[in-house]
Amino acid sequence: MKFRQLTIALSLTILSLSLLSSCSSTEEKAKKAEADKKVRVPEDDKADSLYLAYNPAKGDKWIAGFVQNLHKKYGFNGNMLVAKNGKIIYEKAVGWANYLLRDSLKINSEFELASITKTFTGVAIMQLVEAGKLNLTDDVKKFYPDFPYDGITVELLLSHRSGMMNYVYFIDDIWRKEKRDMKKGVSNQEAMQVIIDRKPNPYTKPNNRFHYNNSNFMVLGAIIEKVTGQRYSQYLAEHVFKPAGMKNTHVYSKSEYEKIPVDVIGHDRTWRYSVAQNFLDGPVGDKGIYSTLHDLVLYDKYLRNGRLLTEKSLDSAYKGRNKPVKGHFNYGYGWRIFDGDKGKKVVYHTGWWHGFRHIYVRDLEKNIVIIFLGNLTNGSLMQLDDLYKHLGVPVIRKGAYSGAGSLPGSDED
């Protein structure tokens, strides 16, 4: 009897170990498959080349006419592209890269992305969350013990709910009053030290309300550097640009470069002068990434196929974390959100910095990408309603909905 009980117990133990081993093996295979999916292989280059192929003779003629009118009537100067279902249906470079030198823009010209950079910072943060290197609930003081504000978490920074002041105006005021070097770029770590030393008054209490400002993503850029031990530029190059095949995308900071090595210059609205780079082109994370139309199409591709982030992380990033404006407009983790009817969702971001003005729109349901990268700050990107209607995507302009409302980039970027 005892022998029989011992045999049964032994059999059950072996069965349990076998099941445990099988589960463990399945989990390991799943993890390996997920890891393999994130590794770039030689075949990706060929696939990306086909993905970006464009035949001007087959371009959307309506969009061609629209862009021509946008240039002639409203003064759009820049590069634009529309892709649908993984195929470019129209692209165009219009105008000058540098008006003073009369250099024309090329389709592969690199633009300072301004606040579109925030989407990349959000992706990097969510990668580090996936890797277990930080948590959304982590307080900034975990990384910077002398940080002068309590209760500001990574999540509040991502969703613009920290209540911080805008470091751009604060530091600009100090540099001008104290006659500091206006040409040498300030690094993220130096900007953090200024905040720690000067303790500027916050705009409001943490998690009190949505307040868009660059401080949130500059601090996130600094946290990325603290957690990884790398410069922001290094981390983004290795973990975002390289796996997505973005070969013409870089982080350029005036704290690392005496002169930013690109040919596209930002201009004021009347062409009277080009906007000079200065010490505020040093901090990155809120801005500082330079890229091209085609690389931004690849960015969309590799976000969609799960190489850069898991579906769970993307769902979190694309979920509005604030009270919707006009019932549709919101902000997630580094992405502006338009929540349409029946679960239809568009994620996008605008950009406005030192003579650059952009909009990057991704209709997740229709698989449409719309990109306008401009280097002349005028109101031309407020005139895109007819293009949105032509493509059947929501009009990304708050004033087009009930009541008055701010326009993309008018006061938020």
Give 353-383 as a 3 state SS string: ECCEEEEEEEECCCCEEEEEEECECCCHHHC
289 Rama sector, left if φ>0, alpha if ψ -120 to 50, beta otherwise: beta
DSSP bridge partners of 251: 289
Question: For the chain, what percent of residues have pLDDT higher than 90?
Answer: 82
pLDDT tens per residue across span 266-298 = 998 877 778 889 999 999 999 999 999 999 999
Per residue in 163-188, pLDDT (tens digit) is 999 999 999 999 999 999 999 999 99
Q: Name the pLDDT band for 56 (thresholds 50, 70, 90).
A: very high
> What is the per-residue pLDDT for 279?
95
∠ CA 158-162-168, nearest 5°, is 85
Q: In sequence order, which residues have a C-beta less than 8 Å from that of residue 21 and are 6 or more positions away?
A: none
With 60 as the cut, is the pLDDT of residue 351 above it?
yes
Question: What average pLDDT does the segment 128-156 reach?
Answer: 98
324 to each of 318, 320, 330, 393, 401, how far by Cα in Å? 13, 8, 5, 18, 13
- pLDDT digits 0-9 by tens, 6-26: 666 666 667 666 666 666 676
Which of the two residues, 343 and 275, has the higher pLDDT score?
Answer: 275
Whether the predicted pLDDT of 409 surpasses 50? no
CA-based nearest residue to 144, from 153, 131, 135, 156 = 153
Exposure string for 369-381, b = 16+ CB within 10 A, e = fewer: bbbbbbbbbbebb
pLDDT value of position 342: 79
- Checking if the pLDDT of 362 tops 50, the result is yes
